[in-house]
Amino acid sequence: MADKISHTPFGYFKYFYRAMGFKLIFNILLSTLLGLFDGIGLALFIPLLQMVSGGQSADKNESLGGMTFVLDGYKAMGIPVNLLTILLLIVIIFTLKGLLNYILTMEQVDLRQKYMVSLRLNQINLLKNLSYKGFLKVDSGIIQNTVTAEVGKNLNAMIQFLNTSKAIILLSTYVVLAFIANWQFAMFIIVGGFLSNMIFKKLNKLIKETSILMSKRGNLFSGYIIQAIQSFKYLKSTAGFSLYTNKIVDVMKDIEMMNRRIGKNQAITASVREPILMVIISGAILIQVYWMDATLGSIILALLLFYRALNGLMGVQSSWQSFMQNVGSIESISQFNSQLKENEESFNNKEKYNGFHAGINLNNVIFSYGERKVLSDINLHIKKNETIAFVGESGSGKSTIANLIVSLISPVSGEIKIDDKSYNDFDLDSFRKKIGYITQEPVIYNDNIYNNVTFWAPKTQENLTKFHNIMEKVSLTDFMEDLSEKEDTQLGDNGLLISGGQKQRITIARELFKEVDILVMDEATSALDSETENFIQDSINELHGQYTIIVIAHRLSTIKTADKICLLEKGRIEAVGDFEELKSISPKFSRMIQYQNIALEN
């Protein structure tokens, strides 16, 4: 898919060609063939016109201008020019044209489908390969709007682009015929077309600008809606909805105003189209009758060619205008795709992760977000199957260090090694398959319990047994057995139908089912109910020694049994040791314990 496009007809052609390749050329070739058949069909009317103006004879007639060759053609093929043969030929040619039209339309249906699939697949792959650091830079509204609404608009743009090329080919056929019949007529078409084009060009420019602006507003609108859904509970409980909806309504009004502007421009073009057509045709007839002493036959011929050619021109203008309405999507999809591509991660030809034995080493690691240094001089060894906890004030770098260990982000300088190999030498995707992540906000999919835990693993006997064992381990068996649909019970959007503690257990069950090597537990910063807090503490204790566990801790009570606690202060490691060691060597840690005890007592 194209990333950078030039906003010219050829630039758009290149954009679609990159997505559709030869299929696009084939489509245009078919349109050309259709135009040719239309031209031939039209030419077949010439003898009829000749009969009207010059009687039943097949002799040449001045009023046909250059088109007399059609009569010569008839004679050369030995076809007698009479009403019956002409009508028969017209029926045959238009039937063939109908057939061709069917093939072309079906080809376009096929092309549409393939285009949509290729567009969507490309975006899914780009999203899949997007680095976490890259993801942080992309607005969720842009993602949502681009992969849904903008993709639809882009498809419309493609269809209108094809319609425009088809209309241009048909128009060219009539212009060529008009030139052959009478070059003065042809000049009329060109001058008339040129004049009307000037009016439409201005309107099209306005429509194009509005379309680009509308795509941007669409991104903003989607972003607001996503945030409203995500913070529904907060907005509802604090009556913040009315304030928030004001923002949404403003963007919506903006979009509607732009839609209205586009609609108004469309109304203008649709209304002036026919009058302009009639002015050009009337002018042609006047010139024919008063200055050229034209006969009835030549006027009918002129009318026929003019009408078809100008209609063709209108076809070009209207489909180009519809294309312009959707052209904003080309721009927004291109920008979106480039942004994703710039932040793509690829591990081609790198060694696959195959478990580790000794541990993970962070050597002189430094990390920054842009200019802002977040971690400095981190040197740390994490032994296989030990439990390490990171503590420190808010913003001290606990999550960042965990993100580095699980390879979501990479150091600006320094190195992270697993056993003796640098992360840089690994296919990190295969490494991440062995990482379990229990986040502050449990991730629950809108599906049933079984699928949420097994991540849609097939329901084989083996998987079911494994699933039930794990449910037992995370103390969810009783809860599940009480439900009428057992493991097939739906959990609702984002686990709306179960409690916070149950969500936590489901997510731990998922990681255990996955058979991970490293388990990251990102403790919730918000106060948890004591049952959930106990559960997390129990899980940490129970899984201790079976996995390499990394805890991002806020509650010191949950990490008493950790093998190693790492105290962070403003992005640096201040002290390392087990709970008791740290208590004795770090006054800061002692103060933290004191504070939490006091807080607990209060």
Residues that bind ligand ATP (CB under 6 A): 136, 369, 372, 374, 392, 394-400, 525
Q: Which CB, 24 or 391, lies closer to ligand ATP?
A: 391
In terms of Cα–Cα distance, which of 155, 158, 151, 189 is closest to 172?
189
Q: Which CB, 129 or 399, lies closer to ligand ATP?
A: 399
Q: Which CB, 8 or 394, lies closer to ligand ATP?
A: 394
Separation CA 590–CA 552 (nearest Å): 18
Provide the minimum distance between the beta carbon of 362 and ligand ATP in the complex, in angstroms, as a whole number: 14
Provide the minimum distance between the beta carbon of 506 and ligand ATP in the complex, in angstroms, as a whole number: 23
Provide the minimum distance between the beta carbon of 371 and ligand ATP in the complex, in angstroms, as a whole number: 10
Separation CA 115–CA 156 (nearest Å): 11
Q: HSE of 452 in the Cβ direction (CA atoms, 13 Å)? A: 27
Provide the minimum distance between the beta carbon of 377 and ligand ATP in the complex, in angstroms, as a whole number: 15
Find how far residue 313's CA is from the centre of its chain: 34
DSSP secondary structure letter of residue 448? B
Provide the minimum distance between the beta carbon of 375 and ligand ATP in the complex, in angstroms, as a whole number: 8
Q: Is the dihedral of CA 104, 110, 111, 113 positive or negative?
A: positive
Q: What is the 3-state secondary structure (H, E, C) of 257-323?
A: HHHHHHHHHHHHHHHHHHHHHHHHHHHHHHHHHHHCCCCHHHHHHHHHHHHHHHHHHHHHHHHHHHH
Provide the minimum distance between the beta carbon of 398 and ligand ATP in the complex, in angstroms, as a whole number: 4
Q: Which CB, 371 or 420, lies closer to ligand ATP?
A: 371
Q: Is the dihedral of CA 413, 417, 420, 425 positive or negative?
A: negative
∠ CA 11-17-20, nearest 5°, is 150
Provide the minimum distance between the beta carbon of 166 and ligand ATP in the complex, in angstroms, as a whole number: 49
Q: Which CB, 329 or 396, lies closer to ligand ATP?
A: 396
Q: Which CB, 292 or 409, lies closer to ligand ATP?
A: 409
DSSP secondary structure letter of residue 410? -
For the packed helices 296-342 and 22-43, what is the interaxial angle rounded to 10 degrees? 170
Instruction: Residue 406: count other Cβ atoms within 10 Å of its Cβ.
Output: 19
Q: Which CB, 9 or 134, lies closer to ligand ATP?
A: 134
Separation CA 323–CA 315 (nearest Å): 12
Provide the minimum distance between the beta carbon of 390 and ligand ATP in the complex, in angstroms, as a whole number: 8
Per DSSP, the residues of 30-96 read HHHHHHHHHHHHHHTTHHHHHHHHH-S--S--GGGGGGGHHHHHHHHTT---SHHHHHHHHHHHHHH
Separation CA 523–CA 36 (nearest Å): 71
Q: Which CB, 192 or 397, lies closer to ligand ATP?
A: 397
Q: Which CB, 395 or 545, lies closer to ligand ATP?
A: 395
Provide the minimum distance between the beta carbon of 347 and ligand ATP in the complex, in angstroms, as a whole number: 23
Q: HSE of 200 in the Cβ direction (CA atoms, 13 Å)? A: 24
Q: By three-state DSSP, how is residue 484 classified?
A: coil
Kindly tell me the burial class for residue 520, based on how many C-beta atoms sit within 10 Å of its own C-beta (0-12, 13-18, 19 or more): buried
In terms of Cα–Cα distance, which of 88, 79, 87, 39 is closest to 58?
79
Q: Which CB, 374 or 498, lies closer to ligand ATP?
A: 374
Strands 518-522, 372-383: pairing is unpaired
Cβ-contact 70, 51 below 8 angstroms: no
Which neighbouring-strand residues pair with 520? Answer: 437, 550
Provide the minimum distance between the beta carbon of 400 and ligand ATP in the complex, in angstroms, as a whole number: 3
Provide the minimum distance between the beta carbon of 374 and ligand ATP in the complex, in angstroms, as a whole number: 4
Residues 6+ apart with CB under 8 A from 556: 391, 579, 592, 593, 596
Provide the minimum distance between the beta carbon of 392 and ligand ATP in the complex, in angstroms, as a whole number: 6
Cβ-contact 520, 507 below 8 angstroms: no
Q: Which CB, 209 or 441, lies closer to ligand ATP?
A: 441
Q: Which CB, 514 or 570, lies closer to ligand ATP?
A: 570
- Extract the tokens encoding 74: 């008839």
Provide the minimum distance between the beta carbon of 411 and ligand ATP in the complex, in angstroms, as a whole number: 14
Q: Which CB, 137 or 486, lies closer to ligand ATP?
A: 137
- Extract the tokens encoding 597: 């005890």
Provide the minimum distance between the beta carbon of 391 and ligand ATP in the complex, in angstroms, as a whole number: 9
